[in-house]
Amino acid sequence: VETKLWGGRFEESVTPSVEKFSESVSFDKKLYKHDIQGSRAHASMLAEQGLITMEDKGKIIGGLDEIERRIESGEFAWRADREDVHMNIEAALIDLVGEPAKKLHTARSRNDQVVTDVRLWCREAIDRLLGKIVGLQAALVRLAVRYEDLIIPGYTHLQRAQPLLLPHLLLAYVEQLDRDAGRLSDCQARMNYCPLGSCALAGTGLPIDRFATARALGFTAPLRNSVDAVSDRDFLLEFLSANSIAAVHLSRLAEEWVLWASEEFGFLIPSDAVSTGSSIMPQKKNPDPMELVRGKSARVIGSLTTLLVLCKGLPQAYNRDLQEDKEPLFDSVDTVNAMLEVSTEFALNISFNMERIAKSLPAGHLDATTMADYCVYKGIPFRTSHDIVGKSVALALSKRCQLAELSLSELRSINPIFDEDVANYLGAENAIERFQSYGSTGKRLSCTKKYGFIK
Ligand code: ARG
């Protein structure tokens, strides 16, 4: 058995079950690139500060380059007995270049090292997520442009409410995704501070330059307090919260589209490319990808919950519990990435059943509110208008007809203010034109103009 890098004071080696239980390399090897990036910056700083020679620095960096190459070509042998990604790389570096490599861990602890790696990893992960969000927004905007004039029934409580333009509904998701992106960017900016040089918890007596490593790694500045730097994972809580909110938005989109693909709605037709069948019912064509988007939001929320519970009982500074931050982080990021990708693909592979939607529009008196607005124009207080239209709806219901099909004399029997011009407010096509205030559905596509990526 190899002596551990920390083995000086130990006489016995750990039991196999403890070794297996505590290793993290099986999942944290994902951080190798950022670990090497951090080590390069650290070694350069040590040399600049005269803590190691330029020659040692050259050997360390040459060795790190070779290790990176081996990892990427699959030649690198990851070892569970070396615990984690950090000690795998450090031990391999010592195997490779000998003595100079033993100087790399000067003024460094795995406690500042790991959280530096994770911050670097998250920074890139957020860039990837932001790109995927724009991709989905673009797909939704494309749908909006394709169905520019399509009027759909709008729902509240899943009951028919008012007419909407389909683009208006789609662009609601685009707005929500915009805020998701904003939350991710905010959290990216707030996490972009460097823990390196905080060492185990108290900092160091050696004359290091934390500003130099922070700068070299593209951080805004070093974190101000060494205990805080190694201790907190609030940046992960924030990241996973932002991911969870985005996942909830995607889940709602999924729910809506799954519902719309049902026989009962029949508004949305997914292409075969994004549907799957049943192993027993030959006629089935299911919108599984969006059901899974809805389903996978559960594990994104679960990862956030795991991290919250993980952190809540920890005293300051590093505790080994924190090793458990990585799997929920990676899973949250992988899952939201996949959810965004699949939602985008789904959006690019659906059509809306315009005929079916048009046929369904007369149901549900979508024009009742605009009829009330008409009464307001005639000088009637809104509450009274509401009552007048309520009575008109009751009459239409009893006659099984549309509001637009009530005769003028029938309407006047409810209230004499009605004139011929009420017709301009009735029927979904007329009603939709009435929604003209800022942010309303009636302004055709006006809000798409703000999205530069529309073609
Ligand atoms: N693998 C550990 C983690 O992910 C690295 C830090 C370990 N530090 C320590 N003192 N054992 O948190």
Please state the atom number of ligand 1 nearest to the C-alpha of residue 320: 12
From 111, 119, 325, the mutation candidate for ligand 1 (largest count of ligand atoms within 8 A of CB) is 111
Q: Which residues line ligand 1 (CB under 6 A)?
A: 24, 28, 84, 110-111, 114, 320, 322-323
Residue reference for tokens 């918890």: 201
275 CA → ligand 1 middle, Å = 44
Are residues 51 and 43 in contact, defined by beta-carbon separation less than 8 angstroms? Answer: no
Cα–Cα dist 227/201, whole Å: 5
Residue reference for tokens 């039991």: 15
425 CA → ligand 1 middle, Å = 68
Q: Which two tokens stand for residue 63?
A: 């060795």
198 CA → ligand 1 middle, Å = 14
CA 413 to chain centre: 55
Domains in the chain: boundaries: 7-106, 126-359, 362-437
CATH topology of domain 7-106: Fumarase C; Chain B, domain 1 (1.10.275)
Please state the atom number of ligand 1 nearest to the C-alpha of residue 83: 1
pTM: 0.95
ipTM above 0.95, yes or no: yes
Start-to-end Cα distance in the chain: 63
Please state the atom number of ligand 1 nearest to the C-alpha of residue 24: 1
Upper half-sphere CA count for residue 311 (Cβ side, 13 Å): 18
pLDDT given at position 443: 59
Tell which residue, 23, 24, 3, 21, has the closest CA to residue 13: 3
Please state the atom number of ligand 1 nearest to the C-alpha of residue 28: 4
Tell which residue, 184, 177, 188, has the closest CA to residue 133: 177
Cα–Cα dist 76/373, whole Å: 72
Does residue 279 have an active-site annotation?
no
From 18, 30, 90, 110, the mutation candidate for ligand 1 (largest count of ligand atoms within 8 A of CB) is 110
The catalytically annotated residue of 26, 262, 271, 278 is 278
Superfamily for 126-359? Fumarase/aspartase (Central domain) (1.20.200.10)
110 CA → ligand 1 middle, Å = 6
Are residues 129 and 118 in contact, defined by beta-carbon separation less than 8 angstroms? Answer: no
Which residue CA neighbors atom 11 of ligand 1 most closely? 320
Q: What is the pLDDT of residues 277-320, one digit of tens each?
A: 989 989 989 999 999 999 999 999 999 999 999 999 999 999 99
Are residues 35 and 89 in contact, defined by beta-carbon separation less than 8 angstroms? Answer: yes
Does residue 157 have an active-site annotation?
yes
What is the DSSP secondary-structure string of 348-408? Answer: TTEEE-HHHHHHHTTTT-TTHHHHHHHHHHTT--HHHHHHHHHHHHHHHHHTT--GGGS-H
Cα–Cα dist 410/396, whole Å: 10
202 CA → ligand 1 middle, Å = 16
pLDDT given at position 434: 92
Are residues 300 and 267 in contact, defined by beta-carbon separation less than 8 angstroms? Answer: no
Q: Which two tokens stand for residue 35?
A: 């670990």
Are residues 417 and 371 in contact, defined by beta-carbon separation less than 8 angstroms? Answer: no
Please state the atom number of ligand 1 nearest to the C-alpha of residue 84: 1
pLDDT given at position 444: 54
CATH topology of domain 362-437: Ribonucleotide Reductase Protein R1; domain 1 (1.10.40)
Cα–Cα dist 422/405, whole Å: 11
Please report, in tens digits, the pLDDT of each residue of the chain (455 residues total): 788 888 888 988 899 999 999 999 999 999 999 999 999 999 999 999 999 999 999 999 999 999 999 999 999 999 999 999 999 999 999 999 999 999 999 999 999 999 999 999 999 999 999 999 999 999 999 999 999 999 999 999 999 999 999 999 999 999 999 999 999 999 999 999 999 999 999 999 999 999 999 999 999 999 999 999 999 999 999 999 999 999 999 999 999 999 999 999 999 999 999 899 989 989 989 999 999 999 999 999 999 999 999 999 999 999 999 999 999 999 999 999 999 999 999 999 999 999 999 999 999 999 999 999 999 999 999 999 999 999 999 999 999 999 999 999 999 999 999 999 999 999 999 999 999 888 999 855 444 555 554 44
Are residues 27 and 327 in contact, defined by beta-carbon separation less than 8 angstroms? Answer: yes
The catalytically annotated residue of 157, 279, 407, 409 is 157
320 CA → ligand 1 middle, Å = 6
Which residue CA neighbors atom 12 of ligand 1 most closely? 323
What is the DSSP secondary-structure string of 7-52? Answer: GGG-SSPPPHHHHHHH--HHHHGGGHHHHHHHHHHHHHHHHHTTSS
